[in-house]
Amino acid sequence: MTAAPTRIEYRKVTRRFAPQRKGAEGVTAVIDVDLAIADGEVVSLIGPSGCGKSTLLNMGAGLYLPSEGEVLVDGVMVDRPNPQVAFMLQKDLLLPWRTIRENIELGLQIRGVAPAERRDRALRLMERCHLTGFADHHPHQLSGGMRQRAALARTLAVEPLVLLMDEPFSALDAQTKMVLQADLARSLADERKTALFITHDLVESVALSDRVLVMSRRPGRIIEELVVDLPDRDNPFGRRQHPRVTEYVKALTALLDIGHQELHA
Amino acid sequence: MTSAGQPRLGLIAASAGVLVAFLAAWEWLPGLMHIPEFILPPGSRVWLEFLRVQQTENLWLHTGITALEVIVGFVLGSLMGLVIGCVLGVSPRAELVLSPYLLALQIAPKVAFAPLFVMWMGFTVYPKILVAVLIVFFPVMVNVLSAIRTIDPDLINLARTFSASRWQIFRMIEYPATMSPLFSGLRIASTLAVIGVVVGELVGGNKGLGYLLTYGEGQGNTALVMVSIIMLTLIGIVAYGAVALAERRVLHYLPRAQHTTA
């Protein structure tokens, strides 16, 4: 379907965790996951809690390796954190002792970018993420929505090719969430970023992505793929109005139930 | 906002009232209850003694020496606590190896070491400082260590996704995260330092407020004992205040409620 090259790919990825205590059983978080995301594509991942979605993301970020199979970014195996990939969580993870600007600069500072340049980049991103004027504020002075904007700016500051996002907006109130979704969609489209987006919000997954992958209960595997064939991926407000959104959400609801039944089979 | 200001003013007035009532009771109650002066001298008697010993007993020299021992002991003990807390924090293996000994040393009553240190180092300032160092060390170390242990692992992972080195993680995340608990430890330590030094001085030597205290006791001079206690308390208050002030500057990024001195 797409001529674009594959940016990130999971090949037969299985991840087991050692038992916590002696005698306890180890846990297989995900099993046999195959997925490929093309350049510029946004893919959502939905599934029941504890199905290993976050495990997939952590392996993509290089925080740990798969037990079997491999993760590739631009055809290169991910065996450690790498500059092409950045991740963002539900928690904003802003450092309370740093100002907002310094927080956005964190990744750049770690990578050794000179102070003047990282300052410029941070200020430019703050403008784009509607944070102008908050450069010298500390995180506790900001609302949850603003903090999450800062977290997004910090993620974008390192100019990753692939963004891995783990329910980035799930702790926000409904209105703030919609505004941030719109901002994110615009940024992803403008810069042609590739993204893997975990969410529990089915409407969010339809509003933001090109494809939605459905995972089963643990051990998680991908049981279904739904291509969202709707316009306006860069404008979730517009896409939400589309009459077919409900159809997709209905289909996803049904698919999630299949995952549930498999567990009891 | 007068409505917010008035109750506050009222509270300050009430607080001052308590002080006045206390001083009045101290002055006149012993006389009314026929308590002899060598048991409980009235406030004015203690004040006169305070004026007298400035001349005759070198009160300020003793106070200065005690204050110096408190400062040196506090600074050294805190530094040691911070450094060792950080080392154990970043190296769980070192913690595992050392924790039984650290625990034993923590349980041992530090002031009991005072006579030993005096035997080793004589009637100098060093045994006093050493007791203070020992007693200050633990609350600081424990707070720093647990601060590093309780850092959100996702924060560390965030730094790791940016390819941070071990040293960068320590410098940019773990170390700054110890600051708030460090200051809680330092506040406790500032008052403990005074205790450590006094015990050291009580055990031996001829300088410092602890010495003045035992000297007064030997003379049956209750007023002098009380003067010494008051001076020691003042040193403790100043030390605590200095820490609280530093805390407010260093931890300016926290919302106020989290680090008020209340």
Q: What is the pLDDT of residue A262?
A: 53
Q: What is the pLDDT of residue A260?
A: 54
Same domain for B107 and B187, yes or no, is yes
Helix (H, G, I), strand (E, B) or coil at A52: coil
List the strands of the sheet with A27-38, edge to edge.
A27-38, A6-17, A68-73, A76-77
Residues of chain B in contact with residue A112, where contact means CB-CB under 8 angstroms, are none
Q: What is the pLDDT of residue B254?
A: 84
Interface size between A and B, measured as CB pairs under 8 A: 56
Q: Mark yes or no for CB contact B157/A63 under 8 Å.
A: yes
Map tokens 């608990």 to a residue.
B181
Same domain for B225 and B237, yes or no, is yes
Question: What is the share, in percent, of chain B residues with pLDDT greater than 90?
Answer: 71
Q: What is the pLDDT of residue A1?
A: 47
Q: Mark yes or no for CB contact A106/B172 under 8 Å.
A: yes
Same domain for B132 and B199, yes or no, is yes
Q: Is pLDDT at B261 greater than 80 in this prediction? A: no
pLDDT band with cut points at 50, 70 and 90 for residue B172: very high
Task: Indicate the residue of B152, B155, B161 with minimum beta-carbon distance to A86.
Answer: B161
Alpha carbon distance A67, A14 (integer Å):
6
A112 interfacial to chain B (CB closer than 8 Å) = no
Distances (CA, A) of B142 to A52, A218, B41, B96, B106: 36, 39, 42, 14, 10
Q: Mark yes or no for CB contact A86/B155 under 8 Å.
A: no
Rounded to 5°, angle at Cα A158 from B173 and A33: 90
Question: Encoding tokens for residue B125?
Answer: 């300032």
Q: What is the pLDDT of residue A92?
A: 92
Rounded to the nearest 10 degrees, what angle do helices B126-149 and B114-121 cross at?
130
Segments forming the whole domain that contains residue B3: 1-35
Distances (CA, A) of A168 to A11, A105, A191, A220, B122: 25, 19, 19, 21, 64
Map tokens 């409407």 to a residue.
A203
Full pLDDT tens readout for chain A, 265 residues: 446 788 999 999 999 888 877 777 788 888 889 999 999 899 999 988 878 888 999 999 999 899 999 999 988 899 889 888 998 998 999 999 999 999 999 999 999 999 999 999 999 999 988 888 898 999 999 998 899 999 999 999 999 999 999 999 988 888 888 889 998 999 889 888 999 999 988 888 888 999 999 988 878 888 888 888 888 888 888 888 888 888 888 888 888 875 555 544 3
Please name the helix (run of DSSP H) or strand (run of DSSP E) that holds residue A140, with its range, or none: none
Same domain for B86 and B4, yes or no, is no
Q: Is B211 exposed, middle or buried (0-12, 13-18, 19+ CB in 10 A)?
A: buried
Q: What is the pLDDT of residue A109?
A: 95
Rounded to the nearest 10 degrees, what angle do helices B175-203 and B114-121 cross at?
70
pLDDT per residue over B43-53, tens digit each?
A: 889 999 999 98
Q: Is pLDDT at B5 greater than 70 in this prediction? A: no
Q: Mark yes or no for CB contact B161/A61 under 8 Å.
A: yes
Q: Which of A201-205, A217-221, B111-115, B150-154 has the lowest mean pLDDT?
A: A217-221
Question: Encoding tokens for residue A231?
Answer: 């316009």
Mean residue pLDDT across chain B:
90
Same domain for B95 and B126, yes or no, is yes
Same domain for B116 and B23, yes or no, is no
A71 interfacial to chain B (CB closer than 8 Å) = no
Same domain for B48 and B76, yes or no, is yes
Rounded to 5°, angle at Cα A51 from A50 and A56: 110
Alpha carbon distance A187, A103 (integer Å):
19
Q: What is the pLDDT of residue A261?
A: 55
Closest-CA residue in chain A for B166?
A: A110
Q: What is the pLDDT of residue A264?
A: 46
What is the ipTM, given to two decimal places?
0.87
Residue type, A49: S
Same domain for B139 and B183, yes or no, is yes
Q: Is pLDDT at B81 greater than 90 in this prediction? A: yes
Residues 6+ apart with CB under 8 A from A238: A231, A232
**Chain A residues 128-187 with CB within 8 Å of chain B:** 138, 140, 158
Same domain for B30 and B125, yes or no, is no
Q: Which of A140-144, A215-219, B15-19, B99-103 has the lowest mean pLDDT?
A: A215-219
Residues of chain A in contact with residue B159, where contact means CB-CB under 8 angstroms, are 106, 110
Same domain for B120 and B207, yes or no, is yes
User: How many structural domains are present in chain B?
Assistant: 2
Task: Indicate the residue of B155, B254, B255 with minimum beta-carbon distance to A93.
Answer: B155
Same domain for B128 and B24, yes or no, is no
Residues of chain B in contact with residue A109, where contact means CB-CB under 8 angstroms, are 172
DSSP annotation of A220: B
Phi and psi torsions of B102, nearest 5°:
-65, -40
Q: Is pLDDT at B35 greater than 90 in this prediction? A: no
Question: Encoding tokens for residue A265?
Answer: 């089979």
Alpha carbon distance B172, B162 (integer Å):
12
Alpha carbon distance A35, A53 (integer Å):
13
Same domain for B232 and B142, yes or no, is yes
Question: Encoding tokens for residue A55?
Answer: 């495990």
Alpha carbon distance B121, B204 (integer Å):
11
Question: What is the share, in percent, of chain B residues with pLDDT greater than 70?
Answer: 95
List the strands of the sheet with A162-166, edge to edge.
A85-88, A162-166, A194-198, A42-46, A211-215, A222-227
User: CATH number, domain at B138?
Assistant: 1.10.3720.10
Q: Is pLDDT at B109 greater than 60 in this prediction? A: yes
CA distance A100 to chain B (A): 11
